[in-house]
Structure 1
Amino acid sequence: MKTSRILLVTALATTLLASGCATRVNDAPGATGPLVIQAQGSFAVGGTVRRTPGDYDNNKPTAAGQSFHGDHLYAFYQVPQNAKATPVVMLHGAFQSARSWETTSDGREGFQTLFLRRGFPVYLVDQPRRGRAGNSTVATTVEPTPYDQLFFDQFRLGKWPNYFDNVQFDRKPQTLDQFFRSVTPNTGPYDAAVISDAMAALFDKIGPAVLFSHSQAGGSGWLTAIKSPNVKAIVAFEPGSGFIFPQGELPPVMPSAAGTLSPEAVPLSDFLKLTRLPIVVYYGDNFPVTPTRERGQDNWRVRLAMARLWVDAVNRHGGDARLVHLPEIGIRGNTHFLMSDLNNVQIADLVSSFLAEKKLDR
């Protein structure tokens, strides 16, 4: 199998060399031609094993004497030709899976491919109790709850049924259909500790890497960096919860039309571990910085405000964190899914510049 893979890659490389494009296909930010992958695969990591007392009877099987593997994560990886030394790990948000990063709802290249083209090995994660890591050690009930219109509002495509005038989202009906079909439920209770334990096991397995987190993954991303020194940087796209502060330094809770956002306390010794790595946080457009009665938008007003306090806390303790609110630098119309918006190449360019500045693109 290994020999066959090498032969396949060699044949592809020879074809590309003959066409004169092999020297640029993996590194050019705007490349759309063939992409040479030198290795790919998938695995589970982390989690636990539950065992039921008793003896297993092959002819009368019951739970007795049997085991159950659960609470692990699923990782799919690809390594491009001439890969950079530091991989990128991409962790999805609430009601999502690794699909968030694979492609866009209108069929363009997602961050997975964009960063493969830029030479980074890429690991896509389905978090524990989600997607291809669905075995949960704790039971839950999955209900067919209608929430498409709520997500349209909360993820800032617009105010149902109307799109925002400047929204960076393709308005074809089939695109919206694909967006709604990317939603997938938890198969067990959401638990940031379980997720960050599995993520730390992933970083222990693959070594130093950069973590990209989205939305709900913001909180488990900070915890992962506390648990694993192999997290060398965090790029957080619109963290929505899990803002951790040192004990005794919690800011006030922040009420909004979507509910109250509360900070969470961790020991100072843990918080200080976040000061050893560079962090950048990005937020998009179409929500106010002053209170509003619009639920879907006010939800993000308080998250941006809490994120500013969080960045200030990291830097106050000697860290290297920054927050970029895209409208403030002239980038308009981004939804909650910055990595798959119509301008996702522009967003990827911002991230690439950050990684280059921190010497993580070599």
Structure 2
Amino acid sequence: MHWSSLILTFGAAAAVSNHSCIGTKAVSANCQSSENAMVRDFFYIGGEYVYESAYSSSIYSDQMYVEKLVRATGANETNPIVLINAGVPSGAAWLNTPDNRKGWASYFVEKGYIVYIVDITSVARSSQEQIAIYPMKIASTVTITEDDYTAPQLIDPYPQSVNHTQWPGNGTQGDPYFDAFMAAMIPLTSNTTSQELSMRSAGCTLLSMIGIESYIISHSAGATYPTLMSDQCPDLIKGNINLEPGNTPFQNLVGNSTVPAVGYSAARACGLTATLVEYDPPITNCSQLETVVVGVDTPGNRSCYMQTSPARQLPNIAKVPYVAITGAASPHITYDHCTIAYLNQAGVATDWIKLGDIGIEGNGHFLYLEKNNLVIAGVVKQWIKEN
């Protein structure tokens, strides 16, 4: 469904006269955008009609909201970029930062890429009328956001947390940039199985309709979806770029506990996903994957679940170049090695860029929103050029 095509300028505002145009104050009519003009279209992709007997009629379900952004002067890069986040907040977070600086969508549009932003199915503009199938749960609280995302250094839950310096503002309730970030939090579905199935289908439909191999940039739990798409339609994906991938094999780990093995919960019975992907030798049920815990679990270096040997391989996922990018002060620096090791064991070649190793210090989990977000965008752009 195609609704509109507009010339737009987004966000990061420049001050005019003595008027303050910082953060949400830039909503003022006295503030001008500092960003380049771009053409915007939006669509709903995928999904199908579903009959609802209670209403004796059909609804449309499992569709995914998509925005297409192109520089007003036209794109000059061959392969588009698809931006997928975890749904917390919505895909709109790729446009600007909480303090209203330029976001990654604008950065890559200005560099000449066609950029697609999605809202994952069941979330935000992709919310579903099938409420029984997509029940909702809370996305985040002040405590979760402060401790895991914006100010982990205040509770020092893992050794690397004290080095977190890149969040704009102080990262706590009452700070205007924190409040803007919290205001963007939206509910998530608790039915990960239905969401994975709909994202796999709608995602590959989108890539097919784009018609050119695309780079997918995902964040956090959003890394689950390009994994599924790589399994189903690898020939449509040029590269799989994961900012702090949140699909840690078989478990969820959080960085808000100083006690080893606390902050763990079982997750993703199929390893990187909750639903079946193609393994070799094949499986028909996730319970057929045999695992073993590797490593001593400490706050600074969490233990991992790996396959027992010989490990089943992931032949389709292995067809797509993969890179993970991890902040030096994020909880993910304590456990992203689990994802990399699992992929390698399953025959997937990976790159892992630890920002601290290349001189980029102080980053927490939301790399694309922090003060040096465009520096990190440059790292991604360089990886794309090299791959």
Fold similarity call, TM over 0.5: yes
* Distance of aligned partners of 1:49 and 1:188 in 2 relative to their CA distance in 1, 3 Å threshold: farther
Q: 2:196 aligns with which of 192, 198, 203?
A: 192
* Distance of aligned partners of 1:130 and 1:110 in 2 relative to their CA distance in 1, 3 Å threshold: same
Shift of 1:75: 0.4
Q: Is residue 205 from structure 1 mapped to residue 209 from structure 2 by the alignment? A: yes
Shift of 1:186: 1.8
Q: 2:122 aligns with which of 129, 147, 161?
A: 129
Higher Cα Rg, which structure: 1
> Which residue matches 1:97?
90
> Which residue matches 2:339?
307
- In structure 2, the residue corresponding to 1:41 is in which secondary structure? strand
Q: Is residue 41 from structure 1 mapped to residue 41 from structure 2 by the alignment? A: yes
* Distance of aligned partners of 1:312 and 1:121 in 2 relative to their CA distance in 1, 3 Å threshold: same
* Distance of aligned partners of 1:325 and 1:146 in 2 relative to their CA distance in 1, 3 Å threshold: closer
Shift of 1:221: 1.3
> Which residue matches 2:146?
152
Shift of 1:260: 8.7
- In structure 1, the residue corresponding to 2:118 is in which secondary structure? strand
- In structure 1, the residue corresponding to 2:112 is in which secondary structure? coil
User: Counterpart amino acid of 2:199?
Assistant: I
Instruction: Quote the Cα distance in structure 1 between the aligned partners of 2:82 and 2:329.
Output: 28
* Distance of aligned partners of 1:275 and 1:342 in 2 relative to their CA distance in 1, 3 Å threshold: same
Instruction: Quote the Cα distance in structure 2 between the aligned partners of 1:99 and 1:164.
Output: 29
Kept after mapping to 1: 8 A contact 2:163/2:329: no
Deviations 1:46-97 (A, max 9, x none): 12321135xxxxxxxx611x00111211001111123122110000115321
* Distance of aligned partners of 1:303 and 1:182 in 2 relative to their CA distance in 1, 3 Å threshold: farther
> Which residue matches 1:325?
354
Kept after mapping to 1: 8 A contact 2:46/2:63: yes
Instruction: Quote the Cα distance in structure 1 between the aligned partners of 2:97 and 2:307.
Output: 33
Kept after mapping to 2: 8 A contact 1:137/1:188: no
Percent identity among equivalent residues? 20
- Normalised by the length of structure 1, the TM-score is 0.74
User: Superposed, which structure 2 residues align to 1:33-72 within 5 Å?
Assistant: 35-37=36-38, 39-52=39-52, 63-64=55-56, 66-72=57-63
Q: Is residue 286 from structure 1 mapped to residue 329 from structure 2 by the alignment? A: yes
* Distance of aligned partners of 1:166 and 1:239 in 2 relative to their CA distance in 1, 3 Å threshold: closer
> Which residue matches 1:82?
74
Kept after mapping to 2: 8 A contact 1:106/1:175: yes
User: Counterpart amino acid of 2:225?
Assistant: S
User: Counterpart amino acid of 1:107?
Assistant: N
> Which residue matches 2:292?
252
The count of aligned residue pairs is: 306
Instruction: Quote the Cα distance in structure 2 between the aligned partners of 1:212 and 1:263.
Output: 25
* Distance of aligned partners of 1:273 and 1:106 in 2 relative to their CA distance in 1, 3 Å threshold: same
Kept after mapping to 2: 8 A contact 1:285/1:332: yes
User: Counterpart amino acid of 1:205?
Assistant: M
Bigger shift: residues 344-353 or 189-198: 189-198
Q: Is residue 171 from structure 1 mapped to residue 173 from structure 2 by the alignment? A: no
- Normalised by the length of structure 2, the TM-score is 0.69
Instruction: Quote the Cα distance in structure 2 between the aligned partners of 1:125 and 1:75.
Output: 5
Instruction: Quote the Cα distance in structure 2 between the aligned partners of 1:43 and 1:233.
Output: 23
User: Counterpart amino acid of 1:181?
Assistant: A
Kept after mapping to 2: 8 A contact 1:238/1:336: yes
Q: Is residue 335 from structure 1 mapped to residue 327 from structure 2 by the alignment? A: no
* Distance of aligned partners of 1:132 and 1:326 in 2 relative to their CA distance in 1, 3 Å threshold: same
Q: Is residue 350 from structure 1 mapped to residue 379 from structure 2 by the alignment? A: yes
- In structure 2, the residue corresponding to 1:132 is in which secondary structure? helix
Can you give the 5+ residue segments of structure 1 that lack an aligned partner in the other structure? 10-31, 54-61, 288-296
Give me the CA root mean square deviation. Answer: 3.3
Kept after mapping to 2: 8 A contact 1:73/1:133: yes
Shift of 1:154: 1.6
* Distance of aligned partners of 1:186 and 1:354 in 2 relative to their CA distance in 1, 3 Å threshold: same
Can you give the 5+ residue segments of structure 2 that lack an aligned partner in the other structure? 9-32, 250-270, 273-278, 282-288
User: Counterpart amino acid of 1:168?
Assistant: Q
User: Superposed, which structure 2 residues align to 1:195-274 within 5 Å?
Assistant: 195-207=199-211, 208-228=213-233, 229-241=235-247, 243=249, 244=271, 246=279, 252-253=292-293, 271-274=314-317
* Distance of aligned partners of 1:209 and 1:141 in 2 relative to their CA distance in 1, 3 Å threshold: closer
Shift of 1:122: 0.6
Instruction: Quote the Cα distance in structure 2 between the aligned partners of 1:210 and 1:143.
Output: 30
Kept after mapping to 2: 8 A contact 1:152/1:159: no
